[in-house]
Chain A
Amino acid sequence: MYDDSWYIGGESLLEELFNLLKSKGYRIIAPVKERGYHVLEYVQEFNEVDLNYIRTINNPRHFLQPPNERILKWSYVNGKPIVNPEPVINANICFFGIHPCDANSIVILDKILLNPPEDTLYSIRRMNSFIIIHDCLKSDEYCFCEELGTRIPWDGSGDMWIVEKNDRYYVKAMSEKGRKILQELSLDKADTVPINEKYTIPNTIELFHKVNDEVWNDYSSKCLLCGSCLASCPTCVCFDIVDHISSLDPLAGTRIRTWNSCIFKSFTTVAGDVVFRSSKKDRFRFRYLHKFVIIPQWYSLPGCVGCGRCVMNCPLDIHPLDVLGGKK
């Protein structure tokens, strides 16, 4: 068991940590402010990083299971297809300063994608990643991690957790990998604990089953099926696999993994145009079922981390907790 006590860092802690990881060859992904919005991006220098943010437009899934990811290439040689897997970039990556909710979303991705047989594309990236959680400095009306009990990073969510409080940096290791990096910083132990609050995870299964048909009809008829909630959701993991023929050579091409989601008809349409969950209501409801019932049943974790992106992006302000009636 690693030492999980809190340490205290000086003013330059974040910069030191940044440079230490950079010197170890990590490619660093951090929040950057662009045209008024924060985005997770690859950065070179510490001064590009802006940790004073609420939420980033994109989320860790964009890097760990990117959209339109190439799986393999094929080409026909004398009538026989030759298949070559696309190499996954085997580089160490560091998420520098993601929030607890997004770090928790990685736990959910892990549960689904690392469950044997492992999704090898994801697992290579995941094994090579180092996650530094930076505790939120502020929140807004869209955040609901406290209501969902996802405010505190779960075991397995990150390697290091940093809390900025009273002009001091509190740091703790959350994994063996994190402990090794922390040791190199040679910090003093903290005499206080920066965060003591406990949050309970609500019984979302129970909440879901209390939602009546009228509520599902009401919200699903409002929903435009625009997909903003899915594209921004850090725990939406579902995908399609499609073939793209090369524009240069009709006998060659690429197999690509793209994101798809249960709210779209195409997701469950089988040959002959049979659609399972053909009504909009069934599809709208299923997304909630997956996140608030199925994932909790399989993994004893909520399938939603309360990051608030879906609410922020929804043109009709549909809030999962309004639907479930779990708002405090």
Chain B
Amino acid sequence: MIVYQPFITKILDIIDETFEIKTFRLERPKEFSNFKPGMFVMVSVFGYGEAPFAIASSPYITKYIEVSVRRVGDVTSALHRLEKGSYVGIRGPYGNGFPVEEWKKKDIVIIAGGTGLFGVSSLLWYFYNSYRDYGSIKLLYGARTPKHIPRKRDLDTWAERIDVYLTVDKPDETWRGEVGVVTKLIDKITFDEKETIFVLCGPPVMLYYGYLDLLKRGIPKKNIFFSLERRMQCGIGKCGACLLDSGYYVCRDGPVFRADQLQLGDIA
């Protein structure tokens, strides 16, 4: 068995999320170990290649795992062409995951933008189940337009136990909610500046401005966490594609980092 050999697994279901995003429910290989929220997998479509995806389903589900995929490159387009019942390769789970044990009893604010929601979906499922161990939990989520919002059924479920705030950059005639970038939602909520844990996941520009905004509000760096995205070939700290200026491999040492581990250039 070589480290780069994927397990072959079946697509149990495909859920259309938006016009460009599908969720793939994959049978979980027997050999697959348990995962912590925030970890990721490498998914292969043979002939097209392999790409990293955050595990978007609950860590408490053992039968399957889900990845939500935006159709944007070679591998993702190939995935979108597949049908229920077909097979893909999968290896992992990789990465460190969120330090949820350290956060017990604390208030949590999760800020996500675009497909960054999938990077924190497993965390949101974790909090949905273990919410009693934590203080208040809030999700601030921003999408481009209402048509871009994925996992709506999950957002509804999470809202039972997590305060969910949504915003869109451009509203349509049906939209009754907030309009503007996701960082504007920070003004809508109250939090303890010194104690609250902030988690950011989204496009580089959102991470950058979100981070600067939080620093301006006096949030200590040790309470700000990022889940980063990078190109990855190996997933195990060899290929170098995800190596940050600060010297960390996103795949092996991340994808979750505390702000004081990183340089500003690593974030955007």
Using a CB–CB cutoff of 8 Å, the interface residues on chain A facing chain B are 71-72, 74, 76, 79-83, 85, 88, 112-113, 115, 117-121, 237-243, 245, 250, 253, 255, 257, 260, 262, 267-272, 274, 276, 286, 289-290, 293-294, 297-298
Contacts and interface: CB of A to CB of B under 8 A. Distances in A.
B95 to A, nearest CB: 13
A242 B46 contact: no
A241 B233 contact: yes
Contacts of A245: 47
27 contacts: A72-B4, A80-B87, A83-B5, A83-B89, A113-B238, A118-B3, A119-B3, A238-B240, A239-B234, A239-B240, A241-B50, A243-B46, A243-B48, A250-B47, A255-B46, A260-B233, A262-B243, A267-B240, A267-B241, A268-B230, A271-B72, A274-B203, A274-B204, A290-B240, A290-B243, A294-B247, A297-B247
A239 B239 contact: yes
B220 interface: no
Contacts of B66: none
B4 A241 contact: yes
- B1, B3, B47, B234 — which one has the most chain A CB atoms within 10 A of its CB? B47
B247 A240 contact: no
Contact of B238 (A112, A262, A289, A294): A112
B247 A115 contact: no
- B46, B48, B86, B230 — which one has the most chain A CB atoms within 10 A of its CB? B46
B236 A117 contact: yes
Contacts of A237: 238, 240
A276 B266 CA distance: 9
A241 B231 contact: no
Contacts of B46: 74, 76, 81, 83, 243, 253, 255
Contacts of B89: 74, 81, 83
Given A85-B2, A117-B236, A237-B238, A271 B49 contact: no
A12 B238 CA distance: 42
B171 interface: no
B72 A272 contact: yes
B3 A262 contact: no
A240 B51 CA distance: 11
Contacts of A115: 237
B100 interface: no
A286 B241 CA distance: 12
A79 B87 CA distance: 8
Given A79-B86, A83-B89, A242-B49, A71 B239 contact: no
A243 B6 CA distance: 13
B242 to A, nearest CB: 8
B23 interface: no
A262 B245 contact: no
Interface in B160-210: 203-204
Given A118-B3, A119-B238, A271-B51, A239 B243 contact: no
> Top 5 A-B pairs ranked by shortest CB distance?
A271-B73, A238-B240, A294-B247, A271-B72, A74-B46
Contacts of A253: 46-47
Given A112-B238, A289-B245, A270 B2 contact: no
